[in-house]
Amino acid sequence: MSTRHILLGLLATGPSHGYDLKRRHDERFPQARPLAYGQVYTTLQRLVRDGLAEVDGTDSDGGPERTMYRATDDGSQELAQWAGEIAPPAPFVTNEIFAKVVVSILSGGDPEAYLRAQRAAHMERMRQLTAVKTAQGTDLATVLSADYALNHLDADLRWMTTTAARLTTLTAEVDAV
């Protein structure tokens, strides 16, 4: 996910300061990794440097003085271009679970036990996400984000089931190389 573009998108609703942008990011993207304040302010500085955002004064709102930022016309154009680009499917799949299965075979470990444990961890995370999305009053953004994560976890589970069924063949191939 592009922090630069997410912040530009949040600025599209009007001027904001870094603290508010971080809070709104964490609300709008509840299943994403929360942004660190340092990342927000560093990204804002780069946006200003690149002419995509500019300082729009300061605001104290009864607290410490905060710098307000707004998107420039160039920033709005870049955001529109980014938002319209098709995200290409990854040409290479880097999968930590697959790597651990192969390393387990290479090192004489127990890949079947690893897959069972990983499956249990995935199932627990799926239960957590299901509870989040079905809680009373859950907003649609949270439901959609949880659904996205649940579908990815489900794909992993299907892959683990297929791999567990093929471990004998995979072990023979890995050992043969």
pLDDT tens column, 41-68: 999 999 999 999 999 988 777 778 889 9
The span from the CA of 15 to the CA of 10, in Å, is 9
Question: What pLDDT, on the 0 to 100 scale, is given for residue 10?
Answer: 92
Helix (H) or strand (E) holding 36: none
pLDDT tens column, 89-133: 766 666 788 888 888 888 888 999 999 999 999 999 999 999 999
Question: What pLDDT, on the 0 to 100 scale, is given for residue 93?
Answer: 61
Helix (H, G, I), strand (E, B) or coil at 10: helix
Helix (H, G, I), strand (E, B) or coil at 171: helix
Global confidence as pTM: 0.70
Distances in Å between the Cα of 150 and the Cα atoms of 45, 109, 118, 124 are 35, 29, 15, 11
Angle (CA) 38-28-133 rounded to 5° is 125
Question: What pLDDT, on the 0 to 100 scale, is given for residue 60?
Answer: 74
Q: Which amino acid is at 121?
A: A
